[in-house]
């Protein structure tokens, strides 16, 4: 599968839509990537396992259909009584579906350049990164752009894991998993009515619903990354309203694939067991969603590499974080009053092109040499309580996996 039209000429890194504006960091899982912290370099000897989300994309088919429907409802207004809505008169929805946008392809390209430089000591002609991707066009294209145009070495995409079979890079393996619909609807009922009423006041006859508010707000991030300029939809909403939109995304993932969903973390167990195998150099031990055929072969799952890179989806990364014990909250996320001190913030967890990096270090501390592991999410070093989560993975989810099929 070819790359998305980039070759060796990625979009410039000073593109105005990735300047880290506060509003853009309130787009939850649709935020453009930004480092959650300044990277702290480890000692020189380490092995690396990199997990990365695909780059910025067009909306899914269902989301696009919903946004288009909401635009049609707004355009049915008899008149527009505020200048901020003037653009709606001649507006036409024209976004594509599912695939990477050029900016998203550039995100993956730039991530590859960053990681090649950061871990250059681990790579040579005989020891290239081993790269896998889940079988989705946008994920595969992200992997291919990540591998492209390194001046010295050119790793290949070695394995595409089929999403119709066992796949640790995709979250559709647990038929009985619930959804976060009830939780996100509860929060929508809190923050959307005031916005709906304001828009209906300035667009008499539109009769917008609460769900339309979410759809129209979503046009802002999707159009911004697609057209590489701030969408006119963005200015219709205040900074406080964007914070509410962010929390809607937080709840969507927390109660969809995270700790608020009983069977959310178990969908990440297979990947955690693959990670343990790579860190220890021992065969994968797992009876959840691993592909045993692929994982038992040194060709499709080698254990002797210094650098591994996997490409996945945001939902699956949320399950992996939860299986690892990252971003645990002291209480379930409140459905009506966001905790400003929470660490579960989607734009810091799974923005477009999000990445989790696991570094295995060989260090000498106080004269004693030992092996250590650290995990970074979007360059932010994570605290270590996740070490205890190995037991959850080693026991195949402590009975949760069986509940997926009861």
Residue with tokens 């049609």: 72
Active site residue 248: no
Q: Are 231 and 219 in contact (CB under 8 A)?
A: yes
Spell out a b/e string for 347-365, using b for 16 or more CB atoms within 10 Å of the CB, else e.
bbbbbbbbbbbbbbeeeee
Residue 6 vs residues 19, 95, 229: alpha-carbon distances, Å: 21, 20, 19
289/307 Cα distance (integer angstroms): 23
Residue 341 vs residues 282, 331, 333, 345, 396: alpha-carbon distances, Å: 39, 12, 11, 10, 32
- From the list 54, 115, 248, 313, the catalytic residue is 54
Q: Are 112 and 146 in contact (CB under 8 A)?
A: yes
197: number of Cβ within 10 Å: 11
Spell out a b/e string for 3-12, using b for 16 or more CB atoms within 10 Å of the CB, else e.
bbebeeebbe
| Strands (E) located in 225-344 | 307-312
Q: Are 373 and 76 in contact (CB under 8 A)?
A: no
DSSP label at residue 268:
G
Catalytically annotated residues? 54
């Amino acid at each position: 599968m070819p790359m998305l039209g980039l070759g060796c000429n990625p979009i410039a890194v000073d593109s105005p839509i990735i300047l880290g504006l506060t509003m853009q960091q309130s787009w939850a899982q649709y935020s453009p990537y930004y480092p959650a912290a300044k990277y702290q370099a480890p000692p020189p000897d380490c092995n690396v396992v990199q997990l990365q989300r695909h780059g910025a994309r067009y909306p899914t088919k269902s989301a696009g259909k919903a946004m288009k429907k909401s635009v049609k409802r707004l355009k049915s207004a008899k008149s527009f009584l505020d200048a901020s809505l003037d653009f709606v008169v001649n507006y036409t929805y024209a976004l594509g579906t599912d695939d990477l946008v050029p900016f998203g392809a550039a995100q993956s390209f730039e991530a590859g350049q960053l990681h090649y430089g950061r871990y250059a000591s681990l790579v040579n002609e005989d020891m290239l990164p081993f790269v896998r991707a889940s079988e989705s066009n946008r994920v595969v294209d992200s992997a291919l752009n990540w591998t492209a145009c390194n001046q010295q070495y050119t790793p290949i995409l070695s394995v595409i894991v089929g999403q119709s079979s066992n796949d640790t890079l995709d979250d559709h393996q647990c038929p009985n998993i619930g959804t976060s619909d009830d939780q996100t609807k509860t929060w929508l009922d809190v923050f959307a009515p005031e916005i709906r009423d304001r828009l209906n006041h300035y667009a008499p006859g539109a009769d917008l619903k609460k769900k339309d508010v979410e759809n129209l707000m979503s046009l802002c991030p999707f159009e911004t990354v697609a057209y590489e300029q701030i969408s006119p939809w963005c200015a219709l909403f205040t900074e406080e309203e964007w914070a509410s939109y962010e929390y809607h995304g937080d709840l969507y993932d927390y109660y969809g694939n995270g700790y608020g969903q009983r069977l959310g973390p178990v969908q990440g167990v297979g990947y955690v067991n693959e990670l343990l195998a790579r860190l220890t150099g021992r065969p994968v031990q797992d009876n959840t969603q691993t592909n045993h055929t692929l994982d038992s072969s040194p060709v499709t799952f080698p254990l002797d590499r210094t650098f591994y890179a996997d490409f996945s989806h945001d939902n699956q990364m949320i399950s992996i974080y939860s299986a690892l014990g990252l971003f645990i909250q002291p209480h379930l996320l409140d459905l009506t009053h966001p905790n400003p001190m929470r660490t579960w913030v989607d734009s810091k967890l799974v923005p477009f092109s999000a990445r989790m990096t696991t570094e295995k270090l060989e260090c000498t501390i106080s004269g004693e040499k030992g092996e250590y592991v650290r995990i970074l999410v979007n360059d932010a070093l994570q605290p270590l309580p996740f070490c205890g989560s190995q037991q959850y993975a080693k026991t195949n989810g402590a009975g949760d996996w069986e509940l997926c099929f009861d």
